Structure 1
Amino acid sequence: MYLDNDLESIQEARQNLERAKIAQNAISNMTQDQVDQVVHSMAQAAMREAGRLAALAVDETGYGKMEDKMTKNLFSAKDVFESIKGKKTVGVISRDDEKKVWEVAEPVGVIAGIIPSTNPTSTVIYKALIAIKSRNAIVFSPHPSAAKCTKETVSVLHEAAKRAGAPDGVISCITKPTLASAQELMNHKITDLILATGGPGMVKASYSSGKPAYGVGPGNVPVYIHSSANVQKAARQVVHSKTFDYGTICASEQSLVVEKSIKRKLKRELEREGAYFLDDYEKKRMEQIILRNGSLNPDLVGKSPQMLAKIAGITVSDDTRLFVAEETNVGKSFPFSLEKLSPILAFYTVENDEEANRICAELLELGGLGHTVGIHCEDEKIIESFGVKQKASRVVVNSGTTFGGIGATTGIAPSLTLGCGTLGNNISSDNIGPEHLINKKRIAFGIREMKNEVPTRDVRSTENVSSNEENNITKADIMEIVKNVLKELNYK
């Protein structure tokens, strides 16, 4: 019998949500120790399977590099776990003895987890860990092109959670995802919150669902290379960061903004690290393939430089790691100035920090407001001035922005959902963690009495009374005046 794909996927979404609701009621009654045992079991399982899941993701999606996706899986399973394992998410989580206020954690309920095709397995690991840590159930909606690897990752985590005592159905996945099932998941009455990672359309749909939602924005990340920078170190970090998983992380560098005084030196160091500077002809060829119908060409996302060269019709050596093109303009008509999600960088030359600030601001305005900027610099005054001026939620200093933005090489909370704040039409500018997936109720003790204020006498009224008293006007005097007036009017 023929079954409609949309209807089948919608029914699966509903069934998963119903199971998740029952499971969430059960996990909400678990103690902190019980929850932590479940999360630890999940993290251990994800670490054991990191390589296999990475290979599945590359084989299915065609995006990125297996070894880098394995590193991302391990980042989610290890770094994220280490950052959240000591957090209190059950019962009283804080006590303010001075103000006599206790904060109590309550889970938000059932979460809809929207998963992208670029980082499917690592994002599932991260979202599942923070959801269970905060005693929520989560139902995943994969990108159709990453359905199998997402399903397998969910299966690994779900089995590990159950072995440690979690209820069945607390983590689940739509196995035959469609747009209809994603919409059903986000809009269903059982869903309490949406955790969305993906393209602008899907993130916008999550905000339009009427449900509370954490989303992300595009990351057109500019990086300022100041004249005081350690140029050799900066070049090494930029190339490593930008080529990691072939540029699929949204916090990866998109444009370098370089002071003229160090341009030649930086160019040499970049070339030494495997960067290839395109000539005018090659730049035009590459420009023609970056966009398709005004949007980023999906055939370029997460592809190797050699594959990009083949698509563009140019020839490069096998050891080329990154394409760089010199650019002077910023705008939608200049593809190199946009987010590219592949090992392609724009290179701007500026005279000073004032011009660098302006170019970086224009690049963010074009497509990365609220996300991330980077700076390589040894002058703290310049760093502070740059960081204060730029409209980004993360300012990564002397580190690759791919790793710095997600908290792998900086002190920022490790995360794969990077909020962009209201600048990027997001509700939060944080790196999202379990603390964002709880409701906090306050137990507040009375510490003072409410006093009623005594109203003061009207100044004008007081003056009138004083005036009457000074003139000795009595009630009898007023009656006599009235009687005389009536006589004059011939009243008897």
Structure 2
Amino acid sequence: MQATESAIRTVVEEVLAELGKTPKQVNGTAPHFKPTADPGGIRVVSSGAVAGQSSSPAIEAAPNSGDWGVFQSVDAAVTAADAAFQQLSKSTVENRDIVVNIVKTMCEQRAEEWGRKEFEETKIGRLDHKIAKLKIIKQVPGTEWLKPNCFSGDHGISLEEQAPFGVIGAITPVTHSLPTLAGNIVNMVAAGNSIIFNPHPSGAKIACEGVQAFNKAIFEKTGIQNLITIIGTPTIESANEIFHHRKVRMLCVTGGPAVGRAALGAKKRAVVAGPGNPPVVVDETADLDNAAKSIVAGAAFDNNLLCIGEKEVFAVQSIFDRLLEAVSKNGGFLLNSSQVDALTKLAFSPPKEAGGHPVLNRDFIGKDAAYLAQQIGVSVPANTEILFGETDTTNPFVPEEQMMPFIPFVRARDTMHAIELAYEFEHGFGHTAIIHSRNVHAMTVMGRLMNTTLFVKNGPSMAGLGLGGEGYLSFSVATPTGEGVTNPGTFTRTRRCVMVDELRVV
């Protein structure tokens, strides 16, 4: 586990992205973003311009050109993004690389500043992890991911390449506002697209600031204006307008179930990152110290805001008590039954209607373990990463996708019982599941049954996104639509170019 822990920290302590909530008004009014910079005079560059070259004198910005990509009108933002796409299409792959490097470099260099601003604006998660999520944007794949296919035979040669869609409409969550936006830019622009973002209102200010900074640097290096656009005052209505705008060719939604369903109803290609309730199975063959460290690392990351984060643990009876002890030694604080009951009553309200879901107390989302403990009159050590306690399956913390650092532990009779419980309470979302075991057969049975997009064995959940495990990073994990961990290829369409009876050299 030391190697895993070291790898995670080297890669910037841990990571990734949960899917946020449906864009909506906050306290009845959407937050208004006040632009922080005046674009002043900007250049008009010929369609064939490359980095640093301009063929026209500087002119004043057009009235609808926005403030370095920040717009209040969806139509104006889409029009600007479409114009930028036309420029990018006539440009070079080298310019796509320039954009990718700008975003990655700025996220790393300004991680502390932007992480702090996002933390102050959203008021959820952990500051150190907000910073970490920006630093690891450098691991999101770029143009190197795009590979052509070629077919040669008696009748000539055919070349298939990954071509862009055009303007992509993207929804970003409050849980990872700027990291999701930045990761999407890397993937989408590497694929040759431009983007219009509708951020979650509670994370709109930092998202807009990031877009402005990126656009200024992109324009300076490539001459392309408004490659990234964003709605400064986002609402449900602006999201819906983006979904149905005729010039938006593709959608990418990282958010709650409602906004995902809305995107799928827009009658265009949609990549949707849906909800998750990742279960953890621990059997009698597991390395309990490794399992404990992994559970704490994954559940504690950004106070369990990640969609892939460990949400409930099903452990077999024979090792259950020893696992609890191991978690206590690795940053977990064990609550007794009365304390668990007290926290549950504060964290959830009864369903509003018969057969409905318990209502999550949103004031608890993304708060520190110490804050949760304080609400029930408990004082915890300074190094406490998570709270945890034994429950049964009727406790709302088990079936509900809560996003706070309290993890319910449920006793199972044996490995198969634990796997069956994991399957039941993952709810068929197909998102993420985790097992700690040395029994390959148990891993195989669980993997086939769960059929999740991410299936992590003997490590923290972040290992499923290349953080302490192999693979690559993305902040959009498309489960309902099947694309999985998104990459530049996700945002392309395949085009085939055919030469008949010519061009072969053999």
Assess same fold via TM > 0.5. yes
1:329 equivalent to 2:393? Answer yes
CA contact (8 A) 1:414 1:431 kept: yes
CA contact (8 A) 1:258 1:356 kept: yes
Within 5 Å, give how 1:362-373 maps onto structure 2.
Answer: 362-365=424-427, 369-373=429-433
Distance 1:322 1:397 in 2: 21
Unaligned runs of 5+ in 1: 421-425, 448-492
1:319 equivalent to 2:383? Answer yes
Residue 6 of structure 1 and its aligned partner are, at CA, apart by 11
Distance 1:6 1:323 in 2: 33
Within 5 Å, give how 1:179-194 maps onto structure 2.
Answer: 179-194=236-251
Distance 2:339 2:152 in 1: 66
Aligned to 1:410, which of 465, 469, 480?
469
Aligned residues: 428
Q: Which residue matches 2:23?
A: none
Give the secondary-structure state (helix, strand or coil) at the position aligned to 1:194. Answer: strand
Q: Which residue matches 1:284?
A: 341
Residue 98 of structure 1 and its aligned partner are, at CA, apart by 6.1
CA contact (8 A) 1:10 1:184 kept: no
Q: Which residue matches 2:219?
A: 162
Give the secondary-structure state (helix, strand or coil) at the position aligned to 1:252. Answer: coil
* Change beyond 3 A, Cα 1:7–1:151: closer
Tell which structure's C-alpha radius of gyration is larger. 1
CA contact (8 A) 2:272 2:478 kept: yes
Distance 1:336 1:7 in 2: 37
Unaligned runs of 5+ in 2: 1-28, 34-69, 353-357, 502-506
TM-score, length of structure 1 as denominator length: 0.82
1:307 equivalent to 2:364? Answer no
1:95 equivalent to 2:95? Answer no
Residue 318 of structure 1 and its aligned partner are, at CA, apart by 3.5
1:57 equivalent to 2:115? Answer no
Residue 405 of structure 1 and its aligned partner are, at CA, apart by 3.1
Residue 144 of structure 1 and its aligned partner are, at CA, apart by 0.9
Aligned to 2:497, which of 421, 429, 443?
443
* Change beyond 3 A, Cα 1:166–1:123: farther
Aligned to 1:84, which of 142, 147, 154?
142
Give the secondary-structure state (helix, strand or coil) at the position aligned to 1:164. Answer: helix
CA contact (8 A) 1:125 1:157 kept: no
Distance 2:438 2:279 in 1: 18
Residue 11 of structure 1 and its aligned partner are, at CA, apart by 5.2
1:253 equivalent to 2:317? Answer no
Give a deviation string over 1:379-433, Cα, whole Å, max 9, x none: 22322222112131111111111x123332233331111121xxxxx22241111
Within 5 Å, give how 1:25-44 maps onto structure 2.
Answer: 25-44=86-105
Residue 117 of structure 1 and its aligned partner are, at CA, apart by 0.6
Tell me which of the two structures has the higher relative contact order, counting C-alpha pairs closer than 8 angstroms and 6 or more residues apart: 2
Residue 106 of structure 1 and its aligned partner are, at CA, apart by 1.8
Residue 210 of structure 1 and its aligned partner are, at CA, apart by 2.4
Q: Which residue matches 2:449?
A: 389
1:344 equivalent to 2:344? Answer no
More helix by share: 1
Distance 2:425 2:498 in 1: 47
* Change beyond 3 A, Cα 1:38–1:318: closer
Residue 435 of structure 1 and its aligned partner are, at CA, apart by 0.4
1:298 equivalent to 2:362? Answer yes
Within 5 Å, give how 1:215-294 maps onto structure 2.
Answer: 215-292=272-349, 294=358
Residue 7 of structure 1 and its aligned partner are, at CA, apart by 13
Q: Which residue matches 1:461?
A: none
Give the secondary-structure state (helix, strand or coil) at the position aligned to 2:222. Answer: coil
Question: In percent, how many aligned pairs have the same letter?
Answer: 24
1:66 equivalent to 2:127? Answer yes
CA contact (8 A) 1:364 1:391 kept: no
Distance 1:7 1:266 in 2: 48
* Change beyond 3 A, Cα 1:153–1:379: same
Residue 444 of structure 1 and its aligned partner are, at CA, apart by 4.6
Q: Which residue matches 2:56?
A: none
CA contact (8 A) 1:185 1:191 kept: yes
* Change beyond 3 A, Cα 1:291–1:187: farther
Residue 39 of structure 1 and its aligned partner are, at CA, apart by 1.4
Give the secondary-structure state (helix, strand or coil) at the position aligned to 1:354. Answer: helix
Distance 1:161 1:85 in 2: 16
Q: Which residue matches 2:63?
A: none
Q: Which residue matches 1:119?
A: 176
CA contact (8 A) 1:75 1:408 kept: no
Residue 206 of structure 1 and its aligned partner are, at CA, apart by 1.5
CA contact (8 A) 2:100 2:142 kept: no
Distance 2:290 2:32 in 1: 54
CA contact (8 A) 1:376 1:398 kept: yes
Residue 325 of structure 1 and its aligned partner are, at CA, apart by 2.3
Superposition CA RMSD, Å: 2.4
User: Which residue type is aligned with residue 94 of structure 1?
Assistant: N
Distance 1:7 1:43 in 2: 27
1:358 equivalent to 2:420? Answer yes
Give a deviation string over 1:127-159, Cα, whole Å, max 9, x none: 111111011111111111111111111122222
Give a deviation string over 1:171-191, Cα, whole Å, max 9, x none: 021111122222212221111
CA contact (8 A) 1:46 1:156 kept: no
Give the secondary-structure state (helix, strand or coil) at the position aligned to 2:195. Answer: strand
Q: Which residue matches 1:398?
A: 458
* Change beyond 3 A, Cα 1:98–1:377: farther
Residue 247 of structure 1 and its aligned partner are, at CA, apart by 0.7
TM-score, length of structure 2 as denominator length: 0.80
Residue 446 of structure 1 and its aligned partner are, at CA, apart by 6.5
Distance 1:444 1:351 in 2: 61
Distance 2:182 2:71 in 1: 24
